[in-house]
Structure 1
């Protein structure tokens, strides 16, 4: 178990496999660490990540369609890295970091400010975890 202190001071324990899966998903995602660093302080919406705007902003590695952004962010939500932003009328198309996401982003910023590159084996493992997971 790894213990994470969330912003309000609450302590949350995550099993090591949860952290490993989240790290793998983040390294295999089409996003740069700059996006996750920004998500620490404010939400970012899907249109700001899609197309050339995502690349120009330094958030994505290559232009993505809105559907691709939704698919990638939904996986990061499922592994515990992100959460959907909520306003007074319900869910929005914006995202924020979870306490687990915050911990991992701070770890990689302290280790040089870059996400470690994902190997082909990492990508296969992430694909397998994503598409062949069992329901709880």
Structure 2
């Protein structure tokens, strides 16, 4: 939880309503977590795809199919509710290294 790339405010917002990447990008001061904000839109999309891969986020679906909006999954809601304090703690170098290796080579 400490290595998740966004502030708890983003996850709370995604629990209430879907957000698209552009809205997230425009609200760095609100959704950013420390100095690790993505450098460009592609990196932001990578972070959002990673959260989909680990099961925290999902793409919102409407009658036409997938949309450009993201929402919190039930697993994401459980993590947010039961481990919210972990989002407030900064990740140490050991956690960041383990997370980076796991993200690069997930298996």
Do they superpose with TM above 0.5? yes
Computed over aligned residues only, the root mean square deviation of the Cα atoms, in angstroms, reads 1.9
Q: 1:59 and 1:131, CA in 2 relative to 1: closer, same or farther beyond 3 A? A: same
In structure 2, the partner of 1:59 is 31
Aligned equivalents of 1:75, 1:88: Cα separation in 2: 25
Who wins on radius of gyration, i.e. which is larger? Answer: 1
Give the count of matched residue pairs: 104
SS of the equivalent of 1:28 reads: coil
1:74 to 42, 45, 49: 49
Cα deviation, residue 114, structure 1: 4.5
Structure-1-length-normalised TM-score: 0.68
Long gaps (5+) in structure 2: none
Long gaps (5+) in structure 1: 1-22
Aligned equivalents of 1:90, 1:115: Cα separation in 2: 35
Deviating 4+ runs (over 4 angstroms): none
Structure-2-length-normalised TM-score: 0.84
Matching of residue 125 in structure 1 with residue 101 in structure 2: no
